[in-house]
Structure 1
Amino acid sequence: MFKKGLIVVGILVIVGIVVGWKHIGAFFNGRTSTVNSKAIRIAVDNHKSMKEIAKTFKTAGIVDDVDAFLSLAEYKKLTNTKIGSGMYEIQPETNYRTLLNGLTLNSSGNGNAEIEISVTFNNCKTIHDLCVKVASCIMVDSTELENYITSPETLNKYGFTIEQIPALFMPNTYRMFYDTSKEAFLDRMAKEFKNYWTEDRMAKLKAIGLKSPSQAVTLASIVYGEQSKNASEWPIIARLYLNRLNTGMKLQSDPTFKFCWGDQLKGVQRLTYEHRNKDCPYNTYLYDGLPPGPISMPPTAVVEAVLNPDNNDYLYMCAQPNYDGLHNFAKNYADHAKYATEFQKWLASEIANN
């Protein structure tokens, strides 16, 4: 009986030693610090195993003792499913305990130390362009995002046609988490769109004779296609095209027929009637009124110019014979023809000299 008691005590002592060593090991592992000498941003994907995550930190020059990192994670019962996918900024000499605590998933579905990143998209012509830029910022696949945005279910949910959907996206820089899903991204864009189109802006929309925000963005995309350098001309050009719409004239905007050609007219300086005759619903030389949707995603400032246009009677515009990017405006075709002749002579001279 005495011997059995000694055995039990011995076992308890051994267990105590083992447990104690685990605690001691966890204590020292937790105090081990990262080796990065400056702050490093790193993306973490919780679909990967803890070993793969540890390897990512080692490759990035943050963790040098992978065994200590994994041992502490095991002690804390921290698996990849309990880690938040996202972007993290690891400060120099962060101890492993703080590092793992920061990765731990919280009740909001993010890692405790997860940071937001900037998502910027400008100068996009198509939904494809948008998706490529967004996918370079957050953890989404560009093809999956494009397919989601253009799916009939999504278009129906947000009330846009396939042609109008570019109007939903207002170029800007947005703060969001790196692991934002395609659904959450589109919900965010829809909220931004709704917040922008206030009662005041909707009243201005009706006052200039347009029926929907997508029409305003469509007109803004044409204005921006005509003038992307000098913002001072945006309200002037906006009113010119509104004048044409109100008088029943075709818009006859070069950027619209260029849109029909895709990238095929890049670098072409002299545009001909053959180019303008391409049958395409966006070609405002062939079809009346506005195109079915935007030809690009113009800056919000251009949309503002459309909603607050200049007060003029212009119906025509022609590039000035210089490299300033400005235009000569005219109320009648005779004056326009004179300006057009001056520009064509200048352009021919420039081409000949080069």
Structure 2
Amino acid sequence: MYLKKIIWGIVLLGLVAMAAFAYFVYSSVFVSNTGFNNEEAHVYIATGSRFSDVIDELRPLIDNPITFEAVANRKGYPANIKPGHFIITKGMNNNDIVNTLRSKNIPIKVKFNNQERLENLAGQIANQIEADSISLLEAMRDTTFLKDTGFNEHTALGMYIPNTYEFYWNTSAEGFRNRLRTEYNAFWTEERLQKAKAINLTKDQVLSLAAIVQKETAKVEERPRVAGVYINRLKTGMLLQADPTVIYAKKRAEKDFDQIIKRVLYVDLEIDSPYNTYKYPGVPPGPIAMPDITSIDGVLNYEKHDYYYFVADVTNFGYHKFAKTYAQHNVNKAEYVRWVNANGVNR
């Protein structure tokens, strides 16, 4: 009788242990282990991360790190950590979370706008992907890459056409640069190349002129007309005399791209720089900013007209008054100067 009790006791203990183990397995693998209120959470695993780094990244997002670690170890995840951007949805269990981190690196949308320098572009991109600004700038300035692709220190900025692109978050600096080179090549279709040839401009020159147009007007619908003014000047051998190039030349000469210049002074027109189109003929040696697609196509599809001059329209802000003759331009300019002086715009 006593032996039977011992046996039954051992059996009961075993059943309890098995039940406890089954419950632990069930709760570890199949029960939700998310601890956030939103529908989803974004996880970023850096290149070279250890399992402890992953746990630290997940800790604010999961209820029970211990059960997650147990399942992850069971599935061999610590030996096969993948960097990237992953999305965990509310209600996921540990098994789902591990499977997501192992194989579901989700691309992100990377966008950038009209930056004046590669330094600014590198900083903007570094806020969106894993690569830091220093490595990005080094990749963009790499002399071997520039030589192999036909760019130089002046034209390199033109390779980066502002838009929204899909990238994996863990894309390297070189990977980002190379992808934008591919996008640049795809942008220059045969149709665009033929249009550039028709106005006797290279791709680099189109980009340099488009950057001026970009700076001159924020109104997309006005860009072909502004481009037409500069094309007319180029065709007749006139200097472009574009104020944005003087502003850029001043910033470049003074190594201060943070300064805000609202008014170009006569003394600025004497700055000796190949970017100063009041002193040097033709388009500048490189873009003074990254022109967007509307500005580039504004040059390639410029409006054919007889205008050679334009000045800001103080009766319709954001737009310009165009003139065919210098005499008419002086009338328009006098109106603008009166407005500038009356509003105290000195610099």
TM-score, scaled relative to structure 2: 0.87
How many angstroms does 1:215 deviate by?
Answer: 1.2
Which position in structure 2 is the counterpart of 1:227?
Answer: 217
Partner residue of 1:157 out of 142, 148, 163: 148
1:187 aligns with 2:188: no
Q: Structure 1 vs Structure 2: percent identity of aligned residues?
A: 31
Cα deviation code 1:148-201 (max 9, x no counterpart): 111101212322111111111111111111111112212211121111111111
Q: Aligned partners of 1:218, 1:330: CA distance in 2, in Å?
A: 24
Aligned partners of 1:307 and 1:158: how far apart in 2?
Answer: 23
The correspondence of residues 99-110 of structure 1 with structure 2, limited to 5 A, is 99-104=97-102
Q: Deviations over 1:251-276 (max 9, x none)?
A: 11000010122256844444211122
Aligned pairs for 1:113-124 (under 5 A) are 113-124=104-115
- How far apart, in 1, do the equivalents of 2:57 and 2:271 lie? 52
Q: Say which SS state the counterpart of residue 261 (structure 1) adopts.
A: helix
User: Residue deviations 1:58-78, cap 9 Å, x none?
Assistant: 13xx22322222222222222
Consecutive unaligned residues in structure 2, runs of 5 or more: 1-16
Q: Secondary structure at the match of 2:344?
A: helix
Match of 1:4 in 2: none
Change (3 A) 1:217 1:76: same
Does the 8 Å contact 1:239/1:312 carry over to 2? yes
Unaligned regions of 5+ residues in structure 1, if any?
1-17, 105-111
In the TM superposition, structure 1's runs of 4+ consecutive aligned residues that sit over 3 Å from their partners are 20-28, 263-270
CA 1:98 to 1:288, structure 2 compared with 1: closer, same or farther past 3 Å?
same
User: Paired residue for 1:308, among 298, 301, 306?
Assistant: 301
1:329–1:336 Cα contact (<8 Å) kept: yes
Against the structure 1 CA distance between its residues 58 and 87, is the aligned structure 2 distance closer, same or farther, given a 3 Å change threshold?
same
Distance 1:310 1:46, change over 3 A: closer
> Whole-Å Cα distance in 2 between the matches of residues 265 and 45 of structure 1?
32
Cα distance in 1 for partners of 2:264, 2:330 equals 17
Separation (CA, whole Å) in 2 of partners of 1:341 and 1:220: 27
The reply to whether residue 36 of structure 1 matches residue 25 of structure 2 is no
- For the pair 1:259 / 2:279, whether they are aligned, the reply is no
Aligned-pair RMSD on alpha carbons? 2.3
Amino acid in structure 2 at the alignment position of 1:44: I
What corresponds to 1:88 in structure 2?
86
- 1:272 paired with 2:265, answer yes
Q: What are the superposed Cα offsets for residues 264-303 of structure 1, whole Å, 9 maximum, x if unpaired?
A: 6844444211122111111111111110000111110111
Q: Which amino acid aligns with 2:49?
A: K
**Cα distance change of structure 1 residues 84 and 22 upon mapping to structure 2, 3 Å threshold:** farther
Question: 3-state SS of the aligned residue for 2:343?
Answer: helix
Q: CA deviation digits over 1:43-98, x for unaligned, max 9?
A: 11252221221121013xx223222222222222222x512211111101111111
Q: In the aligned structure 1, how far is the partner of 2:91 from the partner of 2:155? A: 51
Pairs aligned (count): 323
Give the corresponding residue for 1:200: 191
Cα distance in 2 for partners of 1:56, 1:67 equals: 14
Q: In 2 relative to 1, CA 98–323 (structure 1 residues): closer, same or farther, beyond 3 Å?
A: same
- How far apart are the structure 2 equivalents of 1:74 and 1:261? 60
With 251-260 and 271-280 compared, the bigger mean Cα shift is at 271-280
Could you tell me how far 1:26 is from its partner in structure 2?
Answer: 5.0
| Corresponding residue of 2:164 | 173
Q: Please point out which of 122, 147, 151 is paired with 1:131.
A: 122
Structure 2: which amino acid aligns with 1:37? N
CA distances 1:103-133 after superposition (whole Å, capped 9, x unpaired): 11xxxxxxx1221111010131211111111
After the TM superposition, which of the residue ranges 238-247 and 314-323 deviates more from structure 2? Answer: 314-323
Q: Distance in 1 between matches of 2:258 and 2:333?
A: 21
The alignment status of 1:325 with 2:323, answered yes or no, reads no
Residue pair 2:246, 2:264 contacting (<8 A) in 1 also: no
- CA apart distance, 1:248: 1.2
Look up the match of 2:9: none
d(CA) in 1 for partners of 2:267 and 2:22? 80
C-alpha displacement of 1:22: 8.5
CA distance in 1, matches of 2:20, 2:133: 49
Q: Which sits farther off after the overlay, 198-207 or 34-43?
A: 34-43
Look up the SS of the partner of 2:111 in the other structure.
strand
Aligned with residue 142 of structure 1, among 133, 148, 164: 133
Question: Cα deviation per residue 1:5-51 (whole Å; 9 max; x = unaligned)?
Answer: xxxxxxxxxxxxx9x99998555422242222321112112522212
Whole-angstrom distance in 1 between the partners of 2:88 and 2:111 = 23
CA 1:22–1:278 in 2, change beyond 3 Å: closer, same or farther?
Answer: farther
Alignment partners' CA distance in 2, 1:69 and 1:329: 68
Using a 3 Å threshold, how does the CA distance of structure 1 residues 116 and 332 change in structure 2: closer, same or farther? same
Say yes or no: does 1:340 pair with 2:340.
no
Shift of 1:310: 0.6
